[in-house]
Structure 1
Amino acid sequence: MHENKKAAIPTRVIGLISGTSVDGIDAALVEIYGQELDLKIELVAGETYPYPAELREKILALCAGASVSMAELALIDDAIAFTFAQAAQNIQQSHQPAHLIGSHGQTVYHRPVGEGIIYKKNTSHSPLCTDKDYRVSTHSPLGYSLQLGRGALIAHLTGTTTVSNFRAADIAIGGHGAPLVPRVDAYLLSHPHQGRCIQNIGGIGNVAYIPPRQGDWLSKIRAWDTGPGNSLLDLAVQHLSDGAKTYDEDGNWAASGTPCYPLVDQWLSQDYFHLPPPKSTGRELFGVTYLEQCLKDTQAYQLNPADILATLTELTAASIAHSYHTFLSEMPQKVLLCGGGSHNLYLKQRLQLLLASIPVLTTDKVGLNADFKEAIAFAVLAYWRYLGIPGNLPTATGAPTEVLLGEIHQC
């Protein structure tokens, strides 16, 4: 147990995050009690603040690989920080001010460990640096993840100490920098006798398997990105509706169609689904290019729009179930959903069918708000960073050791 020297308990903290769906900024104002095993939170207020339309378009374009100048990138970075700061200020209205902000920021690029291209200098002792002094390696020893919305500007604009850039420290020691929430899940959602899967369905799906809270249970936690969550569904809805819709409300459109199971099996043969954890992914894989290939694949089966959405929804559900069956040594006794995808009733029904007798509920059913769970988690991670408590879980990120997460920006 770490001694609390810096903050009184309870501490009011704001958690801010915008996920891979780029829907808007989830803000949670929480009061935090305790530290680790005795950790408890109270959600004082939670709200989602949409991005200005022009900024959202720029973020989505950047995520899709659009070229921008460094000057424009700096402007986007500051615009995101300004919008996050506004969210932090708005969520505090009518409440006592927060002591601390934890901002995840907006991910615009994520490259897992072992991918990408780096340049290594040859053993030449030439005083001049030329092209021939370098050779190309196709595997980087470290991952890379970029979140925009700099914490220093949020601290300056709000007058509140802000912790940001949470993924960097885990990546710096060889981890994926994702998923970062499982340690929070472990303390808030574990059960003394029940193994649980906490399944977040944002743009990308990620799971944390939390074993019964017995013995050396923390070392047995497993977590990874399961694959697409809402990313392909939202892109498909926008495409199939000619921009009239941005998501499939309650999964009603998909529910009116019929999944094409041979296509689901074909898509599940993609390498990522068979890569053992720890692993992480993002829009770089399950984005526009991936959807375009999926849409081409549907042509051979002459699927209508509802059938296409039903099939893509089945891929999300099937990839989650496949992950559990493939990578868990034992199946959970309960699955708890959170994130935007937890509202997709059709997706939830399909997942329940694939998991048979295992109850599929939401974290609301066990007292933790499913819509703001991720924002709550980054409030806790900021709180831990301020107290000097490690936030990552090596069995989840693949890092060799625990490490403090986030950079502290004093106001």
Structure 2
Amino acid sequence: MSLTIGLISGTSVDGIDAALVDIAGENLDLQVQLVAGKTYPYPPELRDKILAVCGGATLSMAELAELDDAIATCFAQAAMAIQQGHPQAELIGSHGQTVYHRPRGFTAQPPGAYTLAYSLQLGRGVLIAQKTGITTVSNFRVADIAAGGEGAPLVPRIDAALLSHPQESRCIQNIGGIGNVAYMPPRQGDWLEKIRGWDTGPGNSLLDLAIHRLSQGAKTYDQNGEWAASGTPCQELVRQWLEHDYFLQPPPKSTGRELFGVEYLDGCIKDAEPYNLSAADFLATLTELTAASIVHSYRTFLPQMPQRVLLAGGGSRNLYLRKRLEILFENIPVNTTDEVGLNADFKEAIAFAVLAYWRQNHTPGNLPSATGATQEMLLGEVNYV
């Protein structure tokens, strides 16, 4: 057994999810037990800085270094706190805080030039290792990107190990700031090669931004989706928004706040003006976009619809969003990963603990069928004490 800590702060920038995990086994044959899980909020001033940078605010190199150090310090504090009352962990897997993500693709200048993806996570692992005294694996995305992949989503291989089923096809749908899916065929034959994964589009990102704006900063999210549930979605607007190029782009693909952020929300608000929507109606419509984009993505790009959908992430606790997904998926059961034995709140943190464990055991962490990389890669840079 290896006692490992997984750390991540996602695109919602809610805080640092920390999971203390017992891991045993090799490759996809893993036994994973969550010993402790907790979310540690960022100090408000630091969260504001992170959100500003994610929104395109400029930084000097000195300010970037200070922000990198501040995030790493918070991650180290979370790692120390999650161990209280438990034996010391042997390893940390830290995703860090994404502040910029550029998908791979073609550029206008020079015409037809192809660019690798680029993804920047702050909270350097070497500082976490020094502050905690624990070997820390970090910077997980760069190896997949170097192999021509998107660097995202990285969780499908973990989903294959922990959530696949011998007879049932499943979609594991994480709903953080951005939504991402891993499609799992039944665990038979060459099933691993048939796994697919991509970012489906906005998860909570637009909703949280809208809530903050509509409440004049008093709220950061819609508890249980209650505000949105009191409104009525405008289906014409949803159909219009689903015509965005991202939703029509075939996978592998990835996205982030760079696309589904403040500027996109401003466009949504402008589009909604002719409809004279109430605040609740507007939130219901944004929620419908998240739900509809997920279902549209499955119907457009999957070889077949799954027999079951398993939700994880903060959005899995949004009761109104879940209800809308259940309605749109019609006869396909929609559950959370809690119901099959994997904590939905800390699933992503658990995943980065597993990725660190795999890195130490020289096991590849990516799935080229999900990221678009040319080959399997060892993921993460190892920072020793």
> How would you bin the TM-score normalised by the shorter chain?
over 0.9
Gap change, CA 1:410 and 1:116, over 3 Å in 2? farther
Determine if the alignment matches structure 1 residue 254 to structure 2 residue 228: yes
Note the C-alpha offset of 1:56.
Answer: 0.3
* Amino acid in structure 1 at the alignment position of 2:45: E
CA–CA distance in structure 2, aligned partners of residues 391 and 153 of structure 1? 23
Distance 1:291 1:115 in 2: 25
- Aligned partner of residue 103 in structure 1, secondary structure: strand
Does residue 1:50 correspond to 2:38, yes or no? no
**CA offsets 1:95-125 (integer angstroms, 9 cap, x no match):** 000000000000000000015677xxxxxxx
Q: Which amino acid aligns with 1:265?
A: R
Are 1:65 and 2:56 an aligned pair? yes
Partner of 2:213: 239
Amino acid at match of 1:381: L
Q: CA shift at 1:302, angstroms?
A: 0.2
1:37 Cα deviation after fit: 3.1
Within 5 Å, which residues of 2 pair with 1:308-327? 308-327=282-301
Q: Which amino acid aligns with 2:367?
A: L
Q: What amino acid sits opposite 1:261 in the alignment?
A: Q
For residues 257 and 41 of structure 1, what CA distance do their matches in structure 2 show? 41
Aligned-residue offset at 1:22:
0.2
Partner in structure 2 of residue 374 of structure 1:
348
1:334 aligns with 2:325: no
Equivalent pair of 1:111/1:145 in contact (CA under 8 Å): yes
Tell me the secondary structure at the aligned position of residue 179 of structure 1. Answer: coil
Q: Within 5 Å, which residues of 2 pair with 1:292-307?
A: 292-307=266-281
C-alpha distance in 2 between matches for 1:140 and 1:26: 35
1:199 aligned onto 2:178: no
2:158 to 157, 160, 184: 184
CA shift for structure 1 position 173:
1.2
Separation (CA, whole Å) in 2 of partners of 1:91 and 1:117:
47
Letter of the structure 2 residue corresponding to residue 48 of structure 1? T
- Alignment identity in percent? 72
Point out 4+ residue stretches in structure 1 off by more than 2 angstroms: 115-118, 136-141
* Inter-partner Cα distance in structure 2 for 1:143 and 1:199: 23
Deviation at 1:141, TM superposition (A): 2.8
- 1:338-386 deviation per Cα after TM superposition (whole angstroms, max 9, x unaligned): 0000000000000110000100000000000000000000000000001
Give 1:35 shift. Answer: 1.5
Distance 2:248 2:28 in 1: 34
Distance 1:158 1:117 in 2: 45
Aligned with residue 284 of structure 1, among 251, 254, 258: 258
Q: Which residue is 1:129 aligned to? A: none
Please state how far the C-alpha of 1:40 moved relative to its aligned partner.
1.0
Corresponding position of 1:79: 70
- Could you tell me how far 1:38 is from its partner in structure 2? 1.9
Q: Tell me how far 1:137 sits from its aligned partner.
A: 5.4
Distance in 1 of aligned mates of 2:336 and 2:293 = 19
SS of residue in 2 equivalent to 1:34:
strand
1:22 to 5, 13, 18: 13
- Post-superposition shift, 1:139? 4.0
TM-score (norm 1): 0.93
In the other structure, the counterpart of 1:271 is 245
SS at match of 2:29: coil
Does 2:354 correspond to 1:404? no
The AA in structure 2 aligned to 1:186 is: A
Find the aligned partners of 1:99 and 1:116 in 2 and give their Cα distance: 44
Report 1:98-177 matches (<5 A): 98-114=89-105, 136=110, 139-177=113-151
Q: Do the aligned partners of 2:8 and 2:348 also contact (CA within 8 Å) in 1?
A: yes
What is the rounded CA distance, in whole Å, between the counterparts of 2:6 and 2:108 in structure 1? Answer: 34
- 1:193-221 per-residue CA deviation (whole Å, 9 max, x = no partner) reads 00000000000000000000000000000
Displacement of 1:138: 6.5
**1:344 and 2:314 aligned:** no
1:97 is the counterpart of 2:88 = yes
SS in 2 for 1:300: helix
Deviation of the 1:36 alpha carbon: 2.1
**Aligned-residue CA RMSD (Å):** 1.0
Larger radius of gyration: 1
C-alpha distance in structure 1 between counterparts of 2:27 and 2:384, whole Å:
24
